[in-house]
Amino acid sequence: MKQFTFSEVNRQSGEILDAALVEPVALTKRGKEKLIILTAEKYQQLVGALKTTAYTLEDAPDDVHDTLMEGLDAIITGDNDD
């Protein structure tokens, strides 16, 4: 990952933004990473990976419910694919 200092942002903003289109770029202050610049697509991927949905057994979609029940049955009967 390329790194630039905060003071370089004023002088090299075009270069920094071009680099951030290719890979995340770190902005540093006093030698420590303070900000990371990344593409909107990469940001959406990261945010999407963090989203989780919780269900109760009663309101879980059928596929989630079925998977859960299969897993529980495997635990109870000892049919694990380990």
Over residues 49-82, the pLDDT tens digits come to: 777 778 887 788 888 888 888 888 888 988 765 5
Structural domains of the chain, count? 2
Is 0.95 surpassed by the pTM of this model?
no
Predicted confidence (pLDDT) per residue in 12-46, tens digit: 999 999 999 999 999 999 999 999 999 999 998 88
**Whether residues 57 and 30 fall in one domain:** no
For 6, the domain range is 2-38
Is there a domain that residue 66 lies in? yes
Is there a domain that residue 25 lies in? yes
Phi, psi of 27 (to 5 degrees): -105, 130
Contact at 8 Å (CB) between 31 and 7? no
Nearest to 36 by CA among 49, 24, 21: 24
Is there a domain that residue 7 lies in? yes
Cβ-Cβ contacts under 8 Å for 9 (sequence gap 6 or more)? 16, 27
Cβ-Cβ contacts under 8 Å for 15 (sequence gap 6 or more)? none
